[in-house]
Each structure stands twice: as structure tokens, then as C-alpha cells.
Amino acid sequence: MDTNQLKNLVRVGIVSSVNGAACRARVIFPDKDNLVSEELPVIQIGANGTEGYYLPEVGTSVLCLFLPNPSGKGMASGFILGAYYTKSKSPSETDESVRSVKFPDGSFVKYDHGTITINAASKIILKAPVININ
């Protein structure tokens, strides 16, 4: 494998479009004259019995991994490993033991030292055969 191939295995880019049904996204690479990838699968926490579903939003900075390219597929054979914060977009949490997911409409789920907070911008729906609140 030559040096050029190695340089292109791990790339940083910005999501340019998403395909929710396929859980894939296209990524633009500003350092490559705004080259746009094919639709790349987004790595999830599970995709079988336990499933995750998360797509980065358009404009999100992401880290991509591409497979070695002996077939000539180029930017078509790779994955989006995940998003990361940048100097212009820092995390909204600062305590390393807090876990949270925040959404564009202001809704969030937050774990903070044994306390779980759920804040919904519209409504909360709980479905179960039995729900105990104490």
C-alpha cells in the first residue's frame, strides 16, 4: 500500500446529506477540493437484536474510515465512525461523569450522578404493560 492510500484511509469531513431509511450519509471533504463521498453507513451501537439509530445532522463534523482501495471504489467503500466537537461547536456539558442526549428542539435526556432528567419539548409517551411511579 502506498503513502497516498494510507493518507486517505482516515478522513475528516462534514455531513452534506443524510438518508434516514438506509442510515447513511454523504460527507464533503473540504481539504480535497470539496469532494463528496458516496452514501456511507453510519456506525451504530447495534444493528441486530439490539438496535441503535443515530444520524448526524447536515453540517456535523465527522470522522470517516475508508477501506484500502485495490478495487478502485474510492470514497464508496467506507464508514462514518462518529461526530466530534470542534472549536466552533463545543459540548453543552462539562462534567465528565454526565451522560446526555440533546435534540435541536430543546428536548433532552440527561444522567447526572444518579439522577435522570427527561425534558420533552412536546410530550412524553410511556408504553408498557405495567408502569410503576414512586
| Spatial separation of the C-alpha atoms in residues 120 and 67, rounded to whole Å | 40
- CA distances (Å), 115 to each of 47, 97, 98, 99, 118, in order? 29, 12, 10, 11, 10
| Spatial separation of the C-alpha atoms in residues 57 and 17, rounded to whole Å | 8
The model carries a pTM of 0.81
Identify how many contiguous H helices and E strands the chain contains and give both numbers: 1, 9
| Spatial separation of the C-alpha atoms in residues 33 and 52, rounded to whole Å | 33
In Å, how far from its chain's centre is CA 27? 12
pLDDT band for position 110 (50/70/90)?
very high
> Is the Cβ–Cβ distance between 24 and 44 less than 8 Å?
no
| Spatial separation of the C-alpha atoms in residues 120 and 101, rounded to whole Å | 12
Beta strand pairing call for 61-66 and 10-19? antiparallel
> Is the Cβ–Cβ distance between 14 and 60 less than 8 Å?
yes
Q: What pLDDT digit, counting tens, does each position of 39-56 carry?
A: 999 999 888 888 889 999
Q: What pLDDT digit, counting tens, does each position of 41-99 carry?
A: 999 988 888 888 999 999 999 999 998 765 665 666 899 999 999 888 889 899 999 99
